[in-house]
Chain A
Amino acid sequence: MPTKEIKKFNFTKAYAELEKITTWFERDDVDLEEGMKKLEEGSELVKELKNYLNTVENKIKELKKENF
């Protein structure tokens, strides 16, 4: 039976983080200083997501009946 592996870079988590930042930026009282910090964090995340998708390959496995 296949098991869930923990990858070094968690795509779903990173994307969720990105969405959190977007929600933060959508509020009415955006603080400039904090915003600059979030922008920096977010840009780093964008870079990591792009980098991940550009470098990591899909893993393809053909299951035998006994895998189940």
Chain B
Amino acid sequence: MGYLSDSAAVAADLIFGFDPEVYGIVLTSLKVSVSATVAASLIGVPLALLIALNNFWGKGLLRLLLNTLMALPTVVVGLFVYALIGRAGALGGLGLLFTPAGIILGETLLALPIITNLTLVAVETLDPRFFKTCRSLGGSAVRTARAALYEARLGILAALVAGFGRVVAEVGVAMILGGNIKGFTRTMTTAIALETSKGEFALGLALGVLLLLVALLVNGALFALRRRA
């Protein structure tokens, strides 16, 4: 118990003393997670609109696939992308392995099914009168999609937050593809894993608190937006 409370005291010092190493790790984590979330949104949101607003053969199957991929284990994504960008991989020449870009690629794939699926749900659960109204007013597919984006904006924002939450908190992809290189690819979660295995609880605890704080801030912002709407 005393050991834990000593660690907590050191952790508080690290946080409130604005320790450069701690905040450097936080910054790396945020850069990587935000980039991956943005990339996954740029692909996932239009993809979800495309699926939601069209009827085609195999739509049900695609939904099942997306649902399944939401539960994709991070280490499996790490493994696949490692095979792709590792030296012997198809994209090995790009030198992405053990770089932030490598982590971003893996985490984009991790967030993509979540963002796509939750956006799809947000659009499909719009009031059925929405689609009828767009049709009767002469809305083209593109205009209807744009309107759907706006009308379902809170649900879509929640999808983005869920995607961000998934990538900022994951450790498998960042560890396998980033390599946990100090000052370069060390993220909050990989640092916590490393420090814990070394028996250094203080730094891990500080990062854990800051990780929760990030989650709180992001979700608080979403909550505030919902209340305003």
**A and B assemble together:** no
